[in-house]
Structure 1
Amino acid sequence: MMTESHHVSSRFDEDLARLRTQVLQMGGLVETQVAAAIDAYSSGEVGSVKAIVDGDRRVNELEKAIDDDCAHIIAKRQPTASDLRLVLGVSKIVTDLERAGDETKKIAKGIRRIYENGHLPGQFGPGVQHLAEAALNLVRQALDSFARLDTGQATQVIRLDDDVDVEFKSIIRQLITHMMEDPRTITTSIDIITIARAIERIGDHAKNISEQVIYIVEGRDIRHIKEAAK
């Protein structure tokens, strides 16, 4: 009887380990997509835009597969305590990863529109490149905090997202001034604003992932705490 119980427990551990691996695989794909979009923004490689858009399909497929695995584990294994928190946390993390992938697709399409209008994105929107690199760093750190279940690193990501928000608002103010001074730049500036907004939201999704890491490890739901305190 103990042997059978041990086998069941071992298979359950394997299920959870595979779940974590799948999340990191999906996260790695999103990270690659964001990095490719940043490169396209600065280099003018419009050809990579199609690859970014196509890559989003794979992100969506992984989200569905991981969601199915979460449902299967809950139904078959009936996890409790920290194991249940891991499964529930993963189901929320993959939603944020999928949405980050959607935002990356918006960035790619915005870049394509700018090039099709005969411009180079890097000529416009000062600070967008830096904002994108900061958001990509948040995604990397959030995934690393999940891989190691490191609440300290997760907390750091949540703090750093505030800096991304501040930088985003600064970029928007500069672009609005730019449009007022030269109305000919309005169309391209609006595309840059769309790109910057998508980048800012990627940072938000990295923050959400980090909040789930804290929930998985400590059982604390810290979402919306700052808003409630205002």
Structure 2
Amino acid sequence: MDITSDTHSQHISRQFNQELEELKTRLMAMGGLVEKQVQDAVTALLDGDTRLAERVIDNDNQVNAMQIRLDEECTRVLARRQPAASDLRLVLAVIRAASDLERIGDEASKIARNAIGLVEADNGSRGFVEVRLISEHVRMMVRDALTSFARFDTELALKVVHEDEQVDSEYQSAMRALMTFMMEDARAISPVLSVMWILRALERIGDHANNLAEYVVYLVKGLDIRHTDPDELDEQSLTRKG
């Protein structure tokens, strides 16, 4: 059968769609690994498992390699396809999301390194309740942010944005409690500082999950909500702005 201009354009379009879908698939794979990195880092701390913590640190190289590969693929698509409108937004959103996922991987490594120090020093478990609470919250945020990206689900993305406010509140409350404890017992300063660094890393993971959710809104609606008050954001407001 002869290839007409129509069938050729359909073929090119189909091939382009496959390339875009591959970018999403690679991003979700990276997200899955990063989510596991966070879970393993916290588990290593709570269970006193230094071997697991070391594995988290080692796996960070794989996270970095996945980001580099995604960046290369996105650059190739931009150069070859010169996408416009929603296709361009998808490629840009993937680039930005991969960067945030890589940063989440870095924070997981920080948690793992502090976990090793705490386990080896055998300095008790002060602050572990707060770590467990906030870690469960931010892991849910990361999971929901990735799901919203996979489904182009702005409602779920907005849920993540609102959850970030709750995590910030939990973080501030935990830090105040630990500061009080250090003031009461000078011997606890060193281990509690390590726990504070872990909580800080978890709070930053929540921030990056929030960024991922904001990219979904940008991707689907073409709206940049990075500097918008979360209290002003809901599906109706997005519809009005869109």
Gapped regions of structure 1 (runs ≥ 5): none
Alignment partner of 1:60 out of 64, 68, 76: 64
Contact 1:125–1:175 (8 Å) recurs in 2: no
Contact 1:211–1:221 (8 Å) recurs in 2: yes
Deviations 1:96-148 (Å, cap 9, x if unpaired)? 0000000000000011111121224x343541111011010000000000010
Q: Distance in 2 between matches of 1:119 and 1:190?
A: 12
Q: Residue 225 of structure 1: SS of its match in structure 2?
A: coil
Aligned to 1:216: 219
Matched, 1:74 2:110: no
Matched, 1:164 2:157: no
Q: Distance in 2 between matches of 1:226 and 1:155?
A: 12
Q: Distance in 1 between matches of 2:129 and 2:26?
A: 37
Aligned to 1:15: 19
Q: Distance in 1 between matches of 2:141 and 2:45?
A: 19
The Cα of 1:76 is off from its aligned counterpart by 0.2
Aligned to 2:45: 41
Aligned to 1:127: 130
Matched, 1:187 2:190: yes
Paired-residue identity, %: 43
Select the structure of larger CA radius of gyration: 2
Q: Distance in 1 between matches of 2:54 and 2:162?
A: 34
Q: Distance in 2 between matches of 1:224 and 1:68?
A: 29
The Cα of 1:38 is off from its aligned counterpart by 1.8
Aligned to 2:106: 102
Alignment partner of 2:87 out of 83, 98, 102: 83
Contact 1:131–1:164 (8 Å) recurs in 2: yes
Alignment partner of 1:201 out of 200, 204, 210: 204
Q: Distance in 2 between matches of 1:140 and 1:124?
A: 24
Contact 1:38–1:132 (8 Å) recurs in 2: yes
Mark the CA change 1:125 to 1:42 in structure 2 (over 3 Å): closer, same or farther.
closer
Runs of 4 or more consecutive aligned structure 1 residues displaced over 4 Å after TM superposition: none
Contact 1:145–1:213 (8 Å) recurs in 2: yes
Name the TM-score, length of structure 1 as normaliser: 0.96
Aligned to 1:93: 97
The Cα of 1:65 is off from its aligned counterpart by 0.5
Deviations 1:52-82 (Å, cap 9, x if unpaired)? 0011111100000001111110110010110
Q: Which amino acid aligns with 2:196?
A: I
Q: Distance in 2 between matches of 1:126 and 1:36?
A: 17
Deviates more, 1:124-133 or 1:48-57: 124-133
Alignment partner of 1:136 out of 139, 144, 148: 139
Contact 1:34–1:104 (8 Å) recurs in 2: yes
Alignment partner of 2:158 out of 148, 155, 158: 155
RMSD: 1.3
The Cα of 1:224 is off from its aligned counterpart by 1.6
Name the TM-score, length of structure 2 as normaliser: 0.91
Q: Distance in 1 between matches of 2:192 and 2:185?
A: 10
Q: Residue 222 of structure 1: SS of its match in structure 2?
A: coil
